[in-house]
Structure 1
């Protein structure tokens, strides 16, 4: 297992560097200019040139990237030229809401999706058709539209839950959970549908294998066959789907954060892009890349626990 982790970490290092370099290059050549954003519409050429020099924007692109990289390796992602605040601090202040939203949504979708998938595979019939219908609805419903419906019904109409905002976990666990209810439900519908469908298909395939008939012939209980053997064999593709969904949530929370006015990384990335805030865009992109690397590592570890062959691969 240690060998697997070490290999994945070594592979991830050049990946993070490549993403950071590509993001830096694309952000640098994108339309817009940080100096013009700061100066506004009325400025002199001398003031423009002086500000570009102060920000280091007149240096060659590779030299700018090298300065950023040497600072990033020391844990310093630079300073936003727009706000004047440290990029690392702003990202850390926004990370909790995004991670909370993605993690809670993934956990909820996994529990509900796997339970529905297993039940529909074991009992089939009407429950299986219900899972198919839910899957189609989950794929078809846009999460931002569903989020607006939830706000209208439960926040504006019933006044049961807050419509906007985010409360940190350390401030109040109860308020934290309450602030996440509506955005998590809005995001979880699609994820539950995907996981339930994948679990059901995997369980049906596993239950049709010869080892299941052998276990039944030897007198193994149905609960043991389903949960200890069939589900474990069907789990690897489900784990893969869960990992992909989590990565998708990291990039898909932008609209949900906007609807619920949550201070997350998605909104920070959008505002930084509009303002041509290169250090902030770079920092958010690297943060998302590291999160994706961590998720992939967790998925690989899950593979190793579910299938011993993966540990020695």
Structure 2
């Protein structure tokens, strides 16, 4: 287990450096700059040059990146050009919203996907076709369209859940849950299908192996065979799909947060992109990369828990 954590750390450092450098370069290639966004198109040229100098935009790109990297290594991601506040503080306040959304979507997709896949593998027939249809629907239905449909029927017409906004858990656990129901369903819909398909295929493959017939011949109950042996052996590829789904949901969260007006990292990066707020864009990229690395670590730890060979 210790080797897995060490390998994770060795992977995380160059990945964070690479993503931060690439983000810095790509953000600098976007037409315009922060000084122009602040002053407007008709600003005085002298004032424009002075503001560029104050913001450090007149320095070479590599020098600006090294300056940012040095501060980031000390826990300082810089100051937002829009608000002049600390990027670390601003993003830290929004991280809980995004994590609540993504974790809820992953759990919902995993529970529904594994349940559908297991039922399809054990019952077969029509349920197997249903899983295939859901897989196609999950890929075909646009996330923003599904979100608008849910808002129309469950928020506007029925008034069961709020259409937009977010209530912190500390203020009201009930309202916090209600504010996340529609966004979580929207984000999880397309992710449950591949998990269900992988679960079904994995369970069917395990049920056809010799050790299952041996266990049945020894009189072991079917339920114990499924829960203790089949699911455990089929769980590794399912866990891989769950990990990929979790990573993909961080990107999907940007769109869902915009649709439901959630104050998360996704909404912040959209606003920062329009204002050429490179420190915020850079900070969001670092946050998302760190979260992806943590997800990969959790997946590897899950491998080790399911398969003793990984621990060896």
TM-score (norm 1): 0.97
After TM superposition, the structure 1 = structure 2 runs for residues 29-40 of structure 1, keeping only pairs within 5 Å, are: 29-40=29-40
Query: What is the deviation of 1:2?
Result: 0.7
Match of 2:146 in 1: 146
Q: Does 1:5 align with 2:5?
A: yes
Q: Does 1:214 align with 2:214?
A: yes
Match of 1:88 in 2: 88
- 1:159 and 1:138 map into 2 onto residues whose CA distance is 26
Match of 2:250 in 1: 250
Query: What is the deviation of 1:133?
Result: 2.2
Query: What is the deviation of 1:201?
Result: 0.6
Match of 1:302 in 2: 302
Query: What is the deviation of 1:76?
Result: 0.8
Query: What is the deviation of 1:29?
Result: 2.3
Moved more, 233-242 or 186-195: 186-195
Segments ≥4 residues shifted beyond 4 Å: none
- 1:193 and 1:29 map into 2 onto residues whose CA distance is 38
Query: What is the deviation of 1:135?
Result: 2.1
Q: Does 1:74 align with 2:61?
A: no
- 1:17 and 1:113 map into 2 onto residues whose CA distance is 35
Q: Does 1:192 align with 2:192?
A: yes
Query: What is the deviation of 1:177?
Result: 0.6
- 1:172 and 1:72 map into 2 onto residues whose CA distance is 35
- 2:55 and 2:61 map into 1 onto residues whose CA distance is 13
Query: What is the deviation of 1:286?
Result: 0.6
Match of 2:266 in 1: 266
- Structure 1: give runs of 5+ residues left out of the alignment: none
- 1:97 and 1:21 map into 2 onto residues whose CA distance is 26
User: What SS does the corresponding residue of 1:97 show, helix, strand or coil?
Assistant: helix
Deviations 1:29-76 (A, max 9, x none): 221111111111222222111111111111121111111111111111
- 1:2 and 1:116 map into 2 onto residues whose CA distance is 35
Q: Does 1:41 align with 2:41?
A: yes
Match of 1:100 in 2: 100
Deviations 1:172-211 (A, max 9, x none): 1111110011111112221111111110011001111111
- 2:156 and 2:252 map into 1 onto residues whose CA distance is 24
After TM superposition, the structure 1 = structure 2 runs for residues 119-138 of structure 1, keeping only pairs within 5 Å, are: 119-138=119-138
Query: What is the deviation of 1:129?
Result: 2.1
User: What SS does the corresponding residue of 1:242 show, helix, strand or coil?
Assistant: helix
- Structure 2: give runs of 5+ residues left out of the alignment: none
Deviations 1:64-108 (A, max 9, x none): 111111111111100012221111111112111111110001001
- 1:165 and 1:194 map into 2 onto residues whose CA distance is 29
- 2:43 and 2:308 map into 1 onto residues whose CA distance is 65
TM-score (norm 2): 0.97
- 1:287 and 1:161 map into 2 onto residues whose CA distance is 30
Query: What is the deviation of 1:132?
Result: 2.1
Match of 2:276 in 1: 276
- 1:149 and 1:28 map into 2 onto residues whose CA distance is 37
How large is the Cα RMSD of the aligned pairs?
A: 1.1
Q: Does 1:15 align with 2:7?
A: no
Query: What is the deviation of 1:307?
Result: 0.9
